Protein backbone atom coordinates (compact mmCIF):
# COMPACT_ATOMS: atom_id res chain seq x y z
CA UNK A 1 0.00 0.00 0.00
CA UNK A 2 1.56 3.25 -1.06
CA UNK A 3 -0.94 5.76 0.25
CA UNK A 4 -0.04 7.82 3.27
CA UNK A 5 -2.16 9.77 5.68
CA UNK A 6 -0.90 12.02 8.41
CA UNK A 7 -0.77 10.06 11.63
CA UNK A 8 -0.80 13.07 13.87
CA UNK A 9 -4.01 14.04 15.62
CA UNK A 10 -5.39 16.98 13.74
CA UNK A 11 -4.64 20.37 15.15
CA UNK A 12 -7.45 22.50 16.47
CA UNK A 13 -9.75 19.61 17.36
CA UNK A 14 -10.34 19.97 21.05
CA UNK A 15 -11.16 16.65 22.54
CA UNK A 16 -9.77 13.79 24.52
CA UNK A 17 -7.98 11.48 22.12
CA UNK A 18 -7.94 8.32 24.20
CA UNK A 19 -10.99 6.10 24.33
CA UNK A 20 -12.22 6.12 27.93
CA UNK A 21 -15.08 3.68 28.51
CA UNK A 22 -17.55 3.62 31.40
CA UNK A 23 -19.62 0.51 32.11
CA UNK A 24 -22.40 0.02 34.66
CA UNK A 25 -19.83 -0.48 37.42
CA UNK A 26 -18.13 2.83 36.63
CA UNK A 27 -21.33 4.84 36.44
CA UNK A 28 -20.48 6.99 39.42
CA UNK A 29 -17.12 7.89 37.92
CA UNK A 30 -18.87 9.97 35.28
CA UNK A 31 -18.78 13.51 36.71
CA UNK A 32 -21.99 14.55 34.94
CA UNK A 33 -23.82 11.53 36.38
CA UNK A 34 -22.64 12.29 39.91
CA UNK A 35 -24.53 15.57 39.65
CA UNK A 36 -27.85 13.85 38.80
CA UNK A 37 -30.46 13.33 41.55
CA UNK A 38 -30.21 10.01 43.44
CA UNK A 39 -33.57 8.77 42.08
CA UNK A 40 -32.29 9.14 38.51
CA UNK A 41 -29.03 7.39 39.36
CA UNK A 42 -30.86 4.55 41.11
CA UNK A 43 -33.08 4.05 38.05
CA UNK A 44 -30.04 3.92 35.79
CA UNK A 45 -28.39 1.35 38.08
CA UNK A 46 -31.50 -0.84 38.12
CA UNK A 47 -32.09 -0.88 34.37
CA UNK A 48 -28.38 -1.26 33.64
CA UNK A 49 -28.51 -4.50 35.63
CA UNK A 50 -30.79 -5.96 32.94
CA UNK A 51 -29.86 -4.18 29.72
CA UNK A 52 -26.32 -3.49 28.51
CA UNK A 53 -24.77 -0.14 29.38
CA UNK A 54 -21.55 1.31 28.05
CA UNK A 55 -20.56 4.84 27.16
CA UNK A 56 -17.35 6.66 26.38
CA UNK A 57 -16.09 10.03 27.42
CA UNK A 58 -16.51 11.67 24.00
CA UNK A 59 -20.22 10.85 23.96
CA UNK A 60 -20.66 12.06 27.53
CA UNK A 61 -18.73 15.30 27.03
CA UNK A 62 -19.58 16.28 23.47
CA UNK A 63 -22.88 14.72 22.43
CA UNK A 64 -25.09 14.96 25.52
CA UNK A 65 -26.57 18.24 26.67
CA UNK A 66 -26.50 17.78 30.46
CA UNK A 67 -28.71 20.81 30.97
CA UNK A 68 -31.55 18.93 29.31
CA UNK A 69 -31.83 15.71 31.35
CA UNK A 70 -33.72 13.41 30.95
CA UNK A 71 -35.10 14.66 27.60
CA UNK A 72 -31.84 15.06 25.75
CA UNK A 73 -32.01 12.62 22.79
CA UNK A 74 -28.45 11.34 23.17
CA UNK A 75 -28.97 10.82 26.92
CA UNK A 76 -32.03 8.74 25.98
CA UNK A 77 -29.99 6.91 23.38
CA UNK A 78 -27.32 5.86 25.85
CA UNK A 79 -28.58 5.92 29.42
CA UNK A 80 -31.06 3.36 30.74
CA UNK A 81 -34.46 4.85 31.56
CA UNK A 82 -37.03 3.52 34.06
CA UNK A 83 -39.65 3.05 31.31
CA UNK A 84 -37.44 0.53 29.51
CA UNK A 85 -38.55 -2.21 31.89
CA UNK A 86 -42.08 -3.20 32.84
CA UNK A 87 -43.02 -1.50 36.10
CA UNK A 88 -43.09 -4.74 38.11
CA UNK A 89 -39.71 -5.85 36.72
CA UNK A 90 -38.19 -2.50 37.59
CA UNK A 91 -39.57 -2.73 41.14
CA UNK A 92 -38.40 -6.31 41.52
CA UNK A 93 -34.78 -5.54 40.65
CA UNK A 94 -34.93 -2.29 42.64
CA UNK A 95 -36.14 -4.07 45.77
CA UNK A 96 -33.45 -6.76 45.48
CA UNK A 97 -30.71 -4.19 44.96
CA UNK A 98 -31.89 -1.90 47.77
CA UNK A 99 -31.94 -4.89 50.14
CA UNK A 100 -28.43 -5.94 49.08
CA UNK A 101 -29.82 -9.33 48.12
CA UNK A 102 -27.35 -12.12 47.28
CA UNK A 103 -25.90 -11.85 43.77
CA UNK A 104 -27.44 -15.14 42.75
CA UNK A 105 -30.96 -13.86 43.55
CA UNK A 106 -30.45 -10.72 41.50
CA UNK A 107 -28.99 -12.73 38.64
CA UNK A 108 -31.89 -15.15 38.62
CA UNK A 109 -34.39 -12.28 38.41
CA UNK A 110 -32.32 -10.61 35.70
CA UNK A 111 -32.26 -13.81 33.65
CA UNK A 112 -36.01 -14.21 33.84
CA UNK A 113 -36.66 -10.64 32.78
CA UNK A 114 -34.22 -10.85 29.87
CA UNK A 115 -35.87 -13.97 28.49
CA UNK A 116 -39.17 -12.14 28.40
CA UNK A 117 -37.63 -9.36 26.29
CA UNK A 118 -37.67 -11.46 23.10
CA UNK A 119 -33.93 -11.89 22.68
CA UNK A 120 -34.28 -13.65 19.30
CA UNK A 121 -36.61 -11.69 17.07
CA UNK A 122 -37.23 -12.72 13.47
CA UNK A 123 -36.03 -16.33 13.80
CA UNK A 124 -32.44 -15.38 13.06
CA UNK A 125 -30.98 -18.51 14.54
CA UNK A 126 -33.16 -20.99 12.77
CA UNK A 127 -33.18 -19.69 9.25
CA UNK A 128 -30.20 -17.52 8.44
CA UNK A 129 -27.18 -19.51 9.48
CA UNK A 130 -25.36 -20.73 6.40
CA UNK A 131 -23.78 -24.14 6.07
CA UNK A 132 -20.60 -25.38 4.48
CA UNK A 133 -20.40 -29.15 4.26
CA UNK A 134 -21.18 -30.27 7.80
CA UNK A 135 -20.27 -26.95 9.39
CA UNK A 136 -22.88 -24.48 10.52
CA UNK A 137 -21.21 -21.09 10.21
CA UNK A 138 -22.39 -19.54 13.43
CA UNK A 139 -20.74 -16.17 12.87
CA UNK A 140 -22.49 -15.55 9.60
CA UNK A 141 -25.96 -14.85 8.27
CA UNK A 142 -27.10 -15.31 4.73
CA UNK A 143 -30.69 -14.25 4.42
CA UNK A 144 -30.86 -12.31 1.17
CA UNK A 145 -29.24 -13.81 -1.91
CA UNK A 146 -26.78 -10.99 -2.64
CA UNK A 147 -25.54 -10.20 0.85
CA UNK A 148 -23.63 -12.19 3.45
CA UNK A 149 -23.33 -10.82 6.97
CA UNK A 150 -20.18 -11.61 8.88
CA UNK A 151 -19.84 -11.07 12.63
CA UNK A 152 -16.12 -11.13 13.43
CA UNK A 153 -15.54 -12.42 16.94
CA UNK A 154 -13.30 -9.49 17.84
CA UNK A 155 -15.97 -6.98 16.83
CA UNK A 156 -18.73 -7.98 19.23
CA UNK A 157 -18.71 -4.83 21.29
CA UNK A 158 -19.25 -1.14 20.52
CA UNK A 159 -17.75 2.24 21.40
CA UNK A 160 -20.93 2.85 23.41
CA UNK A 161 -24.17 0.91 23.59
CA UNK A 162 -27.45 2.18 22.26
CA UNK A 163 -30.21 1.58 24.77
CA UNK A 164 -32.57 0.40 22.01
CA UNK A 165 -30.17 -2.00 20.33
CA UNK A 166 -31.67 -5.28 19.10
CA UNK A 167 -28.24 -6.87 19.41
CA UNK A 168 -28.38 -6.47 23.19
CA UNK A 169 -28.20 -10.22 23.90
CA UNK A 170 -24.75 -10.29 22.30
CA UNK A 171 -23.48 -7.78 24.83
CA UNK A 172 -24.58 -9.43 28.04
CA UNK A 173 -22.31 -12.40 27.62
CA UNK A 174 -24.94 -15.09 27.31
CA UNK A 175 -23.09 -17.56 25.08
CA UNK A 176 -26.27 -19.17 23.82
CA UNK A 177 -27.46 -15.82 22.54
CA UNK A 178 -24.25 -14.92 20.81
CA UNK A 179 -23.12 -15.49 17.32
CA UNK A 180 -19.68 -14.56 16.26
CA UNK A 181 -17.00 -15.96 14.04
CA UNK A 182 -13.28 -16.20 14.29
CA UNK A 183 -12.48 -18.29 11.25
CA UNK A 184 -11.66 -16.26 8.17
CA UNK A 185 -11.03 -19.45 6.21
CA UNK A 186 -14.66 -20.52 6.55
CA UNK A 187 -15.84 -17.10 5.41
CA UNK A 188 -13.55 -17.27 2.40
CA UNK A 189 -14.56 -20.80 1.48
CA UNK A 190 -18.21 -19.89 1.76
CA UNK A 191 -17.82 -16.81 -0.43
CA UNK A 192 -15.86 -18.77 -3.01
CA UNK A 193 -18.67 -21.28 -3.29
CA UNK A 194 -21.41 -18.69 -3.44
CA UNK A 195 -20.92 -16.76 -6.64
CA UNK A 196 -24.33 -15.10 -6.21
CA UNK A 197 -23.02 -13.04 -3.29
CA UNK A 198 -22.11 -9.52 -4.39
CA UNK A 199 -21.99 -7.90 -0.95
CA UNK A 200 -20.14 -8.76 2.21
CA UNK A 201 -21.40 -6.85 5.23
CA UNK A 202 -19.06 -6.80 8.18
CA UNK A 203 -21.11 -6.18 11.26
CA UNK A 204 -21.10 -6.69 15.02
CA UNK A 205 -21.30 -5.07 17.57
CA UNK A 206 -19.10 -2.63 15.78
CA UNK A 207 -16.39 -4.18 13.60
CA UNK A 208 -14.33 -1.00 13.88
CA UNK A 209 -13.52 -1.76 17.51
CA UNK A 210 -11.09 -4.20 15.90
CA UNK A 211 -7.59 -3.01 15.25
CA UNK A 212 -6.86 -2.18 11.62
CA UNK A 213 -4.44 -5.10 11.39
CA UNK A 214 -7.19 -7.58 12.16
CA UNK A 215 -9.62 -5.87 9.81
CA UNK A 216 -7.00 -6.01 7.08
CA UNK A 217 -6.61 -9.75 7.57
CA UNK A 218 -10.35 -10.18 6.96
CA UNK A 219 -10.67 -7.84 4.02
CA UNK A 220 -7.45 -7.79 2.04
CA UNK A 221 -7.73 -11.42 0.81
CA UNK A 222 -10.99 -10.43 -0.92
CA UNK A 223 -8.96 -8.57 -3.52
CA UNK A 224 -7.83 -11.80 -5.14
CA UNK A 225 -9.55 -12.99 -8.31
CA UNK A 226 -11.59 -15.74 -6.64
CA UNK A 227 -13.58 -13.03 -4.92
CA UNK A 228 -14.20 -10.80 -7.93
CA UNK A 229 -17.94 -11.46 -7.53
CA UNK A 230 -17.86 -9.81 -4.08
CA UNK A 231 -17.98 -6.30 -5.45
CA UNK A 232 -19.17 -4.42 -2.38
CA UNK A 233 -17.64 -4.43 1.06
CA UNK A 234 -19.90 -2.89 3.62
CA UNK A 235 -18.84 -2.05 7.14
CA UNK A 236 -21.71 -1.51 9.57
CA UNK A 237 -20.46 0.91 12.20
CA UNK A 238 -21.45 3.61 14.62
CA UNK A 239 -17.85 4.82 15.01
CA UNK A 240 -18.53 8.06 13.10
CA UNK A 241 -21.02 8.90 15.79
CA UNK A 242 -19.56 7.36 18.97
CA UNK A 243 -15.82 7.45 18.27
CA UNK A 244 -14.92 9.40 15.12
CA UNK A 245 -11.35 9.39 16.42
CA UNK A 246 -11.18 5.88 14.98
CA UNK A 247 -10.62 7.54 11.59
CA UNK A 248 -8.72 10.60 12.76
CA UNK A 249 -6.42 10.18 15.73
CA UNK A 250 -6.36 6.53 16.87
CA UNK A 251 -2.87 5.02 16.60
CA UNK A 252 -3.95 2.99 13.56
CA UNK A 253 -6.41 5.49 12.06
CA UNK A 254 -4.11 6.25 9.13
CA UNK A 255 -3.79 2.54 8.33
CA UNK A 256 -7.57 2.18 8.42
CA UNK A 257 -7.97 4.95 5.86
CA UNK A 258 -5.26 3.35 3.76
CA UNK A 259 -7.07 0.03 3.87
CA UNK A 260 -10.32 1.61 2.68
CA UNK A 261 -8.54 3.47 -0.07
CA UNK A 262 -6.64 0.36 -1.13
CA UNK A 263 -9.87 -1.64 -1.44
CA UNK A 264 -11.42 1.16 -3.51
CA UNK A 265 -8.36 1.48 -5.74
CA UNK A 266 -8.52 -2.21 -6.43
CA UNK A 267 -12.05 -2.14 -7.69
CA UNK A 268 -14.24 -2.74 -4.65
CA UNK A 269 -17.10 -0.54 -3.69
CA UNK A 270 -16.56 0.25 -0.02
CA UNK A 271 -19.67 1.32 1.84
CA UNK A 272 -19.54 2.56 5.40
CA UNK A 273 -23.03 1.74 6.66
CA UNK A 274 -23.14 4.43 9.30
CA UNK A 275 -25.72 4.66 12.00
CA UNK A 276 -26.91 8.16 12.93
CA UNK A 277 -30.02 8.58 15.06
CA UNK A 278 -29.93 12.34 15.44
CA UNK A 279 -28.29 15.28 13.69
CA UNK A 280 -26.48 16.13 16.91
CA UNK A 281 -24.11 13.24 16.21
CA UNK A 282 -22.96 14.98 13.02
CA UNK A 283 -22.25 18.27 14.67
CA UNK A 284 -18.83 17.94 16.31
CA UNK A 285 -15.59 18.96 14.59
CA UNK A 286 -14.22 15.46 15.19
CA UNK A 287 -17.21 13.79 13.48
CA UNK A 288 -16.91 16.17 10.54
CA UNK A 289 -13.20 15.55 10.17
CA UNK A 290 -13.78 11.78 10.28
CA UNK A 291 -16.46 12.04 7.59
CA UNK A 292 -14.17 14.13 5.42
CA UNK A 293 -11.32 11.64 5.77
CA UNK A 294 -13.48 8.60 5.05
CA UNK A 295 -14.87 10.25 1.93
CA UNK A 296 -11.38 11.14 0.77
CA UNK A 297 -10.61 7.41 0.54
CA UNK A 298 -13.33 6.93 -2.08
CA UNK A 299 -15.55 4.98 0.32
CA UNK A 300 -19.20 6.01 0.34
CA UNK A 301 -20.97 6.64 3.64
CA UNK A 302 -24.60 5.56 3.78
CA UNK A 303 -26.72 6.19 6.82
CA UNK A 304 -29.50 4.29 8.51
CA UNK A 305 -31.39 4.54 11.76
CA UNK A 306 -34.48 3.27 13.46
CA UNK A 307 -37.29 5.63 14.28
CA UNK A 308 -37.41 5.87 18.07
CA UNK A 309 -39.75 7.44 20.55
CA UNK A 310 -37.87 9.78 22.93
CA UNK A 311 -35.02 10.17 20.43
CA UNK A 312 -36.14 11.05 16.92
CA UNK A 313 -39.92 10.67 16.57
CA UNK A 314 -40.19 14.06 14.94
CA UNK A 315 -40.22 14.88 11.22
CA UNK A 316 -38.08 17.99 11.66
CA UNK A 317 -35.34 15.98 13.39
CA UNK A 318 -35.23 13.58 10.43
CA UNK A 319 -35.36 16.32 7.81
CA UNK A 320 -32.47 18.09 9.50
CA UNK A 321 -30.56 14.80 9.84
CA UNK A 322 -30.93 14.08 6.11
CA UNK A 323 -30.12 17.66 5.05
CA UNK A 324 -27.02 17.64 7.21
CA UNK A 325 -25.99 14.25 5.81
CA UNK A 326 -26.36 15.42 2.23
CA UNK A 327 -24.30 18.51 3.03
CA UNK A 328 -21.53 16.31 4.42
CA UNK A 329 -21.68 13.88 1.51
CA UNK A 330 -23.51 11.02 3.28
CA UNK A 331 -26.25 9.14 1.45
CA UNK A 332 -29.46 8.63 3.48
CA UNK A 333 -30.33 4.93 3.15
CA UNK A 334 -32.87 3.40 5.54
CA UNK A 335 -35.38 4.45 8.17
CA UNK A 336 -36.19 1.36 10.22
CA UNK A 337 -39.07 0.53 12.49
CA UNK A 338 -37.78 -0.41 15.94
CA UNK A 339 -37.63 -4.20 16.30
CA UNK A 340 -39.82 -5.97 18.81
CA UNK A 341 -37.03 -6.81 21.23
CA UNK A 342 -35.33 -5.44 24.33
CA UNK A 343 -36.73 -2.10 25.47
CA UNK A 344 -39.09 -1.94 22.48
CA UNK A 345 -42.06 -0.94 24.65
CA UNK A 346 -40.25 2.29 25.44
CA UNK A 347 -39.09 3.17 21.94
CA UNK A 348 -41.76 1.85 19.64
CA UNK A 349 -43.76 4.13 17.39
CA UNK A 350 -47.02 2.98 15.73
CA UNK A 351 -46.58 2.22 12.02
CA UNK A 352 -49.19 4.84 11.13
CA UNK A 353 -47.24 7.50 12.99
CA UNK A 354 -43.92 6.30 11.57
CA UNK A 355 -45.34 6.67 8.09
CA UNK A 356 -46.56 10.16 8.86
CA UNK A 357 -43.14 11.20 10.18
CA UNK A 358 -41.39 9.70 7.17
CA UNK A 359 -43.72 11.44 4.71
CA UNK A 360 -43.53 14.76 6.44
CA UNK A 361 -39.73 14.60 6.67
CA UNK A 362 -39.31 13.51 3.05
CA UNK A 363 -41.49 16.35 1.82
CA UNK A 364 -39.15 18.83 3.56
CA UNK A 365 -36.02 17.76 1.65
CA UNK A 366 -35.02 17.75 -1.99
CA UNK A 367 -34.83 14.68 -4.17
CA UNK A 368 -31.14 14.29 -3.34
CA UNK A 369 -32.06 13.26 0.22
CA UNK A 370 -35.00 11.08 -0.84
CA UNK A 371 -32.71 8.11 -1.34
CA UNK A 372 -33.89 7.03 2.09
CA UNK A 373 -36.40 4.18 2.17
CA UNK A 374 -38.74 3.33 4.97
CA UNK A 375 -40.26 2.98 7.41
CA UNK A 376 -39.03 -0.58 7.05
CA UNK A 377 -39.53 -3.60 9.32
CA UNK A 378 -36.90 -6.36 9.39
CA UNK A 379 -38.96 -9.48 9.94
CA UNK A 380 -38.46 -13.18 9.28
CA UNK A 381 -39.72 -13.05 5.68
CA UNK A 382 -37.76 -9.93 4.74
CA UNK A 383 -37.56 -6.16 4.95
CA UNK A 384 -41.07 -4.80 4.60
CA UNK A 385 -41.68 -1.15 3.88
CA UNK A 386 -44.86 0.64 4.84
CA UNK A 387 -45.46 2.65 1.69
CA UNK A 388 -48.61 4.47 2.50
CA UNK A 389 -52.22 4.48 3.57
CA UNK A 390 -54.88 4.18 0.89
CA UNK A 391 -58.58 3.63 0.61
CA UNK A 392 -59.55 0.83 -1.76
CA UNK A 393 -63.24 0.14 -2.37
CA UNK A 394 -64.15 1.73 0.92
CA UNK A 395 -61.55 -0.11 3.01
CA UNK A 396 -58.71 1.83 4.62
CA UNK A 397 -55.45 -0.11 4.14
CA UNK A 398 -51.70 0.03 4.59
CA UNK A 399 -49.85 -0.43 1.33
CA UNK A 400 -46.79 -2.60 1.98
CA UNK A 401 -43.96 -4.01 -0.11
CA UNK A 402 -40.85 -6.10 0.36
CA UNK A 403 -37.59 -4.16 -0.02
CA UNK A 404 -35.77 -7.44 0.57
CA UNK A 405 -37.30 -10.90 0.63
CA UNK A 406 -36.13 -14.29 1.78
CA UNK A 407 -37.49 -15.26 -1.61
CA UNK A 408 -36.20 -12.60 -4.05
CA UNK A 409 -39.40 -13.02 -6.05
CA UNK A 410 -41.40 -11.38 -3.23
CA UNK A 411 -39.58 -8.07 -3.68
CA UNK A 412 -41.51 -5.05 -4.94
CA UNK A 413 -44.93 -6.71 -4.95
CA UNK A 414 -47.42 -4.40 -3.28
CA UNK A 415 -49.68 -6.04 -0.69
CA UNK A 416 -52.26 -4.72 1.71
CA UNK A 417 -53.07 -4.85 5.39
CA UNK A 418 -56.07 -3.51 7.22
CA UNK A 419 -55.33 -0.07 8.58
CA UNK A 420 -54.68 -0.16 12.33
CA UNK A 421 -53.52 2.99 14.00
CA UNK A 422 -52.07 1.17 17.03
CA UNK A 423 -50.10 -1.54 15.19
CA UNK A 424 -46.35 -1.28 15.77
CA UNK A 425 -45.14 -4.44 14.02
CA UNK A 426 -46.00 -6.82 11.21
CA UNK A 427 -47.55 -9.43 13.51
CA UNK A 428 -50.19 -6.90 14.57
CA UNK A 429 -51.33 -6.50 10.97
CA UNK A 430 -54.15 -8.45 9.31
CA UNK A 431 -54.53 -8.88 5.56
CA UNK A 432 -57.02 -6.54 3.94
CA UNK A 433 -60.02 -7.44 1.76
CA UNK A 434 -61.10 -10.39 3.88
CA UNK A 435 -58.06 -12.53 3.06
CA UNK A 436 -56.76 -14.99 5.67
CA UNK A 437 -53.08 -14.61 4.94
CA UNK A 438 -50.56 -12.38 3.23
CA UNK A 439 -49.37 -13.76 -0.11
CA UNK A 440 -45.98 -14.87 1.18
CA UNK A 441 -47.16 -16.65 4.33
CA UNK A 442 -47.71 -20.22 3.04
CA UNK A 443 -44.28 -20.26 1.41
CA UNK A 444 -42.63 -18.73 4.47
CA UNK A 445 -44.27 -21.33 6.71
CA UNK A 446 -42.75 -24.04 4.54
CA UNK A 447 -39.33 -22.48 4.85
CA UNK A 448 -39.60 -22.43 8.64
CA UNK A 449 -40.90 -26.02 8.78
CA UNK A 450 -38.07 -27.25 6.57
CA UNK A 451 -35.47 -25.49 8.68
CA UNK A 452 -36.94 -27.08 11.81
CA UNK A 453 -36.80 -30.54 10.22
CA UNK A 454 -33.20 -30.02 9.18
CA UNK A 455 -32.26 -28.90 12.67
CA UNK A 456 -33.84 -31.97 14.19
CA UNK A 457 -32.01 -34.17 11.65
CA UNK A 458 -28.73 -32.53 12.53
CA UNK A 459 -29.24 -32.90 16.27
Binding site for ligand SF4 (CB under 6 A): 158, 161-162, 165, 167, 204-206, 238, 275
> What does 165 bind: ligand SF4, ligand PLP, none (CB cut-off 5 to 8 Å by kind)?
ligand SF4
What whole-number distance in Å separates Cα of residue 250 and Cα of residue 10? 11
For 273, phi and psi rounded to 5 degrees? -85, 90
C-beta of 213: minimal distance to ligand PLP in Å? 27
Q: Are 177 and 150 in contact (CB under 8 A)?
A: no
Q: Which is nearer to ligand PLP, 284 or 341 (CB)?
A: 341
Q: Which is nearer to ligand PLP, 96 or 271 (CB)?
A: 271
3-state secondary structure of 100: coil
> What does 144 bind: ligand PLP, ligand SF4, none (CB cut-off 5 to 8 Å by kind)?
ligand PLP
The β-bridge relationship of strands 135-136 and 131-132 is antiparallel
> What does 150 bind: ligand SF4, ligand PLP, none (CB cut-off 5 to 8 Å by kind)?
none
Strand partners, 195: none
Radius of gyration of the chain (CA): 22
Is the link from the previous residue into 375 a cis peptide, with omega within 30 of 0?
A: yes
> What does 379 bind: ligand SF4, ligand PLP, none (CB cut-off 5 to 8 Å by kind)?
none
C-beta of 180: minimal distance to ligand PLP in Å? 15
Residue 128 DSSP symbol: S
Closest alpha carbon to 360 in 329, 399, 322: 322
Which residues lie below 8 Å from residue 223, measured CB to CB, with a gap of 6+? Answer: 263, 266, 267, 268
> What does 162 bind: ligand SF4, ligand PLP, none (CB cut-off 5 to 8 Å by kind)?
ligand SF4
Q: Are 273 and 307 in contact (CB under 8 A)?
A: no
Is the link from the previous residue into 130 a cis peptide, with omega within 30 of 0?
A: no
C-beta of 218: minimal distance to ligand PLP in Å? 18
> What does 143 bind: ligand PLP, ligand SF4, none (CB cut-off 5 to 8 Å by kind)?
ligand PLP
The β-bridge relationship of strands 269-275 and 300-307 is parallel
User: Where do contacts with ligand PLP occur on this chain (CB under 6 A)?
Assistant: 141, 143-144, 147, 149, 201, 378, 383, 403-404
> What does 404 bind: ligand PLP, ligand SF4, none (CB cut-off 5 to 8 Å by kind)?
ligand PLP
C-beta of 271: minimal distance to ligand PLP in Å? 9
Residue 29 DSSP symbol: G
C-beta of 243: minimal distance to ligand SF4 in Å? 10
Q: Which is nearer to ligand PLP, 127 or 287 (CB)?
A: 127
> What does 378 bind: ligand SF4, ligand PLP, none (CB cut-off 5 to 8 Å by kind)?
ligand PLP
What whole-number distance in Å separates Cα of residue 166 and Cα of residue 124? 12
Q: Which is nearer to ligand PLP, 245 or 406 (CB)?
A: 406
C-beta of 149: minimal distance to ligand PLP in Å? 5
Q: Which is nearer to ligand SF4, 212 or 304 (CB)?
A: 304
C-beta of 141: minimal distance to ligand PLP in Å? 5
154: Cα separation from own chain's centroid: 17
Q: Which is nearer to ligand PLP, 310 or 383 (CB)?
A: 383
> What does 361 bind: ligand PLP, ligand SF4, none (CB cut-off 5 to 8 Å by kind)?
none
Q: Which is nearer to ligand SF4, 238 or 278 (CB)?
A: 238
C-beta of 113: minimal distance to ligand PLP in Å? 27
Q: Using a CB cutoff of 8 Å and minimum separation of 24, what contacts does 364-369 make?
A: 364/315, 364/316, 364/319, 365/319, 365/322, 365/323, 365/326, 368/326, 369/322, 369/323, 369/325, 369/326, 369/332
Q: Which is nearer to ligand PLP, 63 or 377 (CB)?
A: 377
C-beta of 440: minimal distance to ligand PLP in Å? 16
3-state secondary structure of 300: strand
Q: Which is nearer to ligand PLP, 41 or 302 (CB)?
A: 302
Amino acid sequence: MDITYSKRPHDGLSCVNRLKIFTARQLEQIPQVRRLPETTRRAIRIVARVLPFRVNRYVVDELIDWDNIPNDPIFQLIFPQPGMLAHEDFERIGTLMDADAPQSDVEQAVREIRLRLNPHPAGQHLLNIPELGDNRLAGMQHKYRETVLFFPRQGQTCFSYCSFCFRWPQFIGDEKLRFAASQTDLLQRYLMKHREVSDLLLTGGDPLVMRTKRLTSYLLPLLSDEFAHVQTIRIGTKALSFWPHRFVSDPDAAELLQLLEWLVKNGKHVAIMAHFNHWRELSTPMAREAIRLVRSTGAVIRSQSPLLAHINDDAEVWARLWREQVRLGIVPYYMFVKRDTGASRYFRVPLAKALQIYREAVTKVSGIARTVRGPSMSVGPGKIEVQGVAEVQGEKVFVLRFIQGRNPDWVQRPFFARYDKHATWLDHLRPAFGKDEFFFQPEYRNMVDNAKLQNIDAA
